[in-house]
Amino acid sequence: MSQPDFTVDTYQNEYLPEGGQDISAVITVTSGETVPAAAEEADGAEIIIIDCSGSMGSPRTKIAEARAATMAAVDVIRDGVAFAVIAGSTSARPVFPTDGTMAVADPASRRAAQQAVSRLRPGGGTAIGQWLRLAQRMFSANPATLRHAILLTDGKNQHERPTQLDEAISLCEGEFSCDCRGVGTDWEVGELRRISSALLGTVDIVPDPAGLAADFAAMMQAAMGKQVADVALRVWTPQHASVRFMKQVAPAVADLTARRTQAGPQAGDYPTGAWAPGESRDYHLGVRVAAAGVGQEMLAARVSLVTGDPAAPDVLGQGLVRAIWTDDEALSTRINAHIAHYTGQAELARAIQDGLEARKQGDEETATAKLGRAVALAEQSGNEDTAKLLARVVDVVDAATGTVRLKRQVDDADEMALDTRSTKTVRTRK
């Protein structure tokens, strides 16, 4: 199948001082707006995993809105796409189809699924690992290459050991992507973030169950727009050079460094998941090279966008990272705007998460310092959405200097929204 065009743009300061070893670059990857005809009918599979534990019945509107959201998502599934619905509690069971297979979307199957969903009732506990395992079994029996799940919960993973959830996440890694949503404020941000990070999805809070239907429909619409599956960033480095880190930095921060799989003696692949036409993401790459003298230059890394068989992949785009040694201090100390921006965005995410954790532990001094730093970084980078979320948790005295006071009373939903959205970034200002 032919693939859409991708562009790979590299932003860096290629100059190092004599003996310098560390070079970094921001890699902007953009998929083409035009999708070849052969790619328009890309095969897909969707599973919606709905928490049906007992807590979903309190208040009763919660399970009702979850049913409505699932029906709204089913409505968006394109004809020909395989799909299924799972109910999760202490165990997991297939709601539609009931035999654990996947149906092919058409008007009749969508209606049948919605009728089955309308009969869902709450009861039992929460064992998210069991839910993920059932989804993995169902996906693995389907030949689709674009595999995506939506997972909704309102509670903590209380009815299985943490290691069981970790094992389930590992089992699902690379099998499908998963967008996670927590409804209300009694669930654990860290648990859902672990799932969404490993499965290359998103995580967010829906504080009011009434907002679920619109959110589910939007997630499914985004999934239906994906056309290229299992794209990886392949980084080749020369001998005596190595990758220090690889991070996605836009539209959200996600550290891919530990996700590397070897792709040859000097190359490794980093997963990026599926792509939609016109989608653009930024990645921050750090490379350590062998020190060299003034006037020498080298290719520090070659970054290729690849898909298909890892042994003989289709190359969708390519960018180069260079290193040049100089004794001109003005050149070697020049700061690249893209790298500075995303270094600040990564620090912003860390400062928020560290500050909120310190606040939970009663360490007001650390919480004030960290959240104040976050306010300053949000102001400097123009991250207005994060700045608004921070203002619900701290009183901002001076945004430019990060002078803040902790609010004495903070709504749980506001604190969790700041936590879940802390990794969302803004692009470099033009």
Q: What is the pLDDT of residues 192-236, one digit of tens each?
A: 999 999 999 999 999 999 999 999 999 999 999 998 889 999 999
**Pairing verdict, β 103-104 and 22-31:** unpaired
Task: For the beta carbon of residue 20, count every other beta carbon within 10 angstroms.
Answer: 15
Q: Which two tokens stand for residue 136?
A: 């993995």
Tell whether the model's pLDDT for residue 42 goes beyond 70: no
Task: Give strand pairing partners of 204.
Answer: 181
The pLDDT of residue 1 is: 46
The pLDDT of residue 39 is: 44
Closest CA to 191 of 257, 127, 122, 260: 127
> Stretch 34-62: mean pLDDT, rounded?
81
The pLDDT of residue 5 is: 82
Q: What is the pLDDT of residues 76-90, one digit of tens each?
A: 999 999 999 999 999
The pLDDT of residue 43 is: 84
Helix crossing, 189-198 with 162-172: angle to 10°?
Answer: 20
Cα separations in angstroms, 351 against 84, 229, 287, 335, 378: 39, 33, 25, 22, 11
Determine the Cα–Cα distance for residues 51 and 47; give it in Å rounded to an integer.
Answer: 13
> Which amino acid, residue 216?
F
Side-chain-side CA neighbours of residue 319 (13 Å) = 20
- Domains detected in the chain: 6-32+228-332 (2.60.40.3670), 43-224 (3.40.50.410), 337-420 (1.20.120.1690)
Task: For the beta carbon of residue 287, count every other beta carbon within 10 angstroms.
Answer: 23
Question: Element (H or E) spanning 26, and its range?
Answer: strand 22-31
